[in-house]
Amino acid sequence: MSAYLVLARKYRPKTFAEVIGQEVVTEVLRGALSGGHLGHAYLFSGPRGTGKTTLARIFAKCLNCERGPTATPCGSCERCVTADSGGEVDTLELDAASHTGVDDIRELRDEVAYAPMRARYKVYIIDEVHMLTKNAFNALLKTLEEPPPHVVFLFATTDPHKVLDTVLSRCQILRLSALPEERIVARLEDVFRAEGVQAEAGVTAELARRARGGMRDALSQADKLLAFAGNQPALADLARLGGETGSQEIEAVLSLVEAGERAPLLAKLEAFVGDEEELLNGLLDAVRAAALLAWCGAETPLVQLSGSERALAAERGRHLGAERLELMLQELLRARERLRWLSGQERTVVELCLLDLSRAESTLPLSELVQRLESLERRLAGAGEAPRAAVAPPPAAAPFPPPATRASAPPSAGPSAVASPAPVASSATSSAPARAAALGAAGGWEGFLADLGKTHGALSTLFCKHGPTLLEEAEGRLRVRAAGLTSEEQRLLSDKRNQRACEQAWGRAFGRTLTLEFSGAAVRPADERMVQVQDPLTQRVQQHFEGTVEELP
């Protein structure tokens, strides 16, 4: 019985034209070969299964083709035939994971001096080069910088950031990208036709989704599927294989999360025991796609989905909104990180994360929470007053009365007084709390909080916590009365950049720009630990950095 050759090896590209999804890299290599700009060291970096080692082998064949160096090797000469069969003695492949030591590199360095036996160049292909030790890298540096003219180094790695900068600077770096799903689908369909496989509609798309940008992973999954289901595989066969979570299962989980159906959600998670990480990865992909479509529009090329899947993701983006989707992404990422530290508790981690996401309140944007709190405060305040006629809201175009009318507006009397907004007294005749109450009743307050919350969430939370009684408007200035604040809150408000952010948000909300002034006050006794400084040097440092000196407990 002849040995079976797996699809990933049987359909491995042998020329640049057969490589898919890496057009930029192949064009660079072709230009170097045809233009005579050959370097002595190249580093191929990118995700797994995207063609790093394959491109290195093709490049080595192009260098040593008897008609070359050429970007289109003939494929029939002795050098090309031996290269395709893996028998070229002058192309040496090393796995850095098993040759990590300095002695291995010293042996390689000694061999470099010898001329190639048959080919034009002696080519060293070192896979997963980031696995070399620091000493091994250092032993290679001199040879890598000035190798003999007959030597070319080709490195491949999935983690270029782990390679020493001194090595990277001596290489031409070629970055490979994850393959688009539609390119993987097209390649799988070509392979299935060549193998006589009649797959159900959607099988190749699901294989491409599971491969996450790697052609080798897609072909390996296809091999497993054909061994399991024969030459007529269906989507149900993929589901029975397990090990990955299909798009239909992901959609079912997300639908339960959005609907807040917690009991059915827990029952659904029973099917993912042992596949918790794959479930979170699938949820992250689906939520990210919806967020990108919500932010960038339905036609954005950043999302590779198509057809009904793209329409479904776009509808989720419109329904949930980009801000809530962002919060969901953050929670899912935290859950995936916890899986690594809580071994044996994977199911509990996923259950807690999805139960939390199923409560809409836990994923509401800060601006919406502020609006709900303000609305609740108004309802509570109205419930404590005697029944009266509805109070008309202040005019939208002028949230505050002009300064001239503030002092001259006569007090209203009788029942009709409740039908118009209460006048704001001048700074000479009204107390700060009265002015602050009028300020908070203005329609722009919620807009101010929402605007500030977009970039300065801590400030927005502080003002929401303490209410408009913090602020006092007088003589074209907006004063912050800091009585009752903690030391941390005082430092937050006294920061000049935060004050400018408040001024800008105020101007956008109320239509006029005011200068914000912060007047410090004593902190709450429970937070008081500041020390009176007597040392002149410490006083100067304190004044320069606008800090406080506290006594340690």
- Omega of the bond prior to 69 within 30 degrees of 0, cis? yes
| Bigger pLDDT: 392 vs 322 | 322
Task: Find the mean pLDDT for residues 52-80.
Answer: 92
Task: Find the mean pLDDT for residues 198-218.
Answer: 88
| Bigger pLDDT: 361 vs 353 | 353
Residue 79 in this model has a pLDDT that exceeds 50: yes
Out of 57-71, 280-294, 313-327, 359-373, pick the least confident: 359-373
Q: Which segments of 134-233 are extended strands (E)?
A: 151-157, 172-175
**Paired strand residues for 154:** 42, 125
Q: Nearest Cα to 163, choosing from 134, 141, 135, 139?
A: 134
Q: Model pTM?
A: 0.56
State pLDDT tens for residues 163-184. Answer: 888 899 999 999 999 888 889 9
247-363 CATH? 1.20.272.10
Task: Find the mean pLDDT for residues 494-523.
Answer: 75
Residues 154 and 126 sit within 8 Å (Cβ to Cβ): yes
Please provide the average confidence, as pLDDT, over all residues in the chain.
Answer: 78
Q: Which tokens sit at 301? A: 């090329």
The reported pLDDT for the residue numbered 153 is 93
Class of domain 181-241: mainly alpha
Q: Which tokens sit at 327? A: 């919060």
What percent of the chain clears pLDDT 90, i.e. is strictly above it?
22
> Phi and psi at residue 155, in whole multiples of 5°?
-105, 150
Q: Nearest Cα to 163, choosing from 189, 198, 128, 195?
A: 128
Q: Nearest Cα to 270, choosing from 196, 199, 351?
A: 351
The reported pLDDT for the residue numbered 1 is 46
Q: How confident is the model at residue 123 (pLDDT cuts 50, 70, 90)?
A: very high
CA–CA distance, 121 with 112 (Å, rounded to integer): 11
Residue 215 three-state SS: helix
Out of 1-10, 82-91, 324-333, 367-376, pick the least confident: 367-376
CA–CA distance, 54 with 368 (Å, rounded to integer): 52
The reported pLDDT for the residue numbered 520 is 56
Task: Find the mean pLDDT for residues 83-112.
Answer: 84
State pLDDT tens for residues 290-333. Answer: 999 888 888 888 887 777 778 888 888 888 888 888 888 999 99
CA 52 to chain centroid: 25
The reported pLDDT for the residue numbered 435 is 43
Residues 88 and 74 sit within 8 Å (Cβ to Cβ): no
The reported pLDDT for the residue numbered 432 is 41
Taking every pair of Cα atoms in the chain, the longest distance, rounded to a whole number of angstroms, is: 110
CATH architecture of 7-175: 3-Layer(aba) Sandwich (3.40)
Q: Where are the domains of the chain?
A: 7-175, 181-241, 247-363, 365-377+431-522, 525-553
Residue 457 in this model has a pLDDT that exceeds 80: no
| Bigger pLDDT: 508 vs 363 | 508
CA–CA distance, 335 with 350 (Å, rounded to integer): 7
The reported pLDDT for the residue numbered 429 is 37
Amino acid identity, residue 137? F
**Is 489 buried (19+), middle (13-18) or exposed (0-12) by CB count in 10 A?**
buried
Q: Nearest Cα to 54, choosing from 104, 16, 85?
A: 16
Q: Nearest Cα to 46, choosing from 160, 185, 181, 125?
A: 160
CA–CA distance, 310 with 306 (Å, rounded to integer): 5
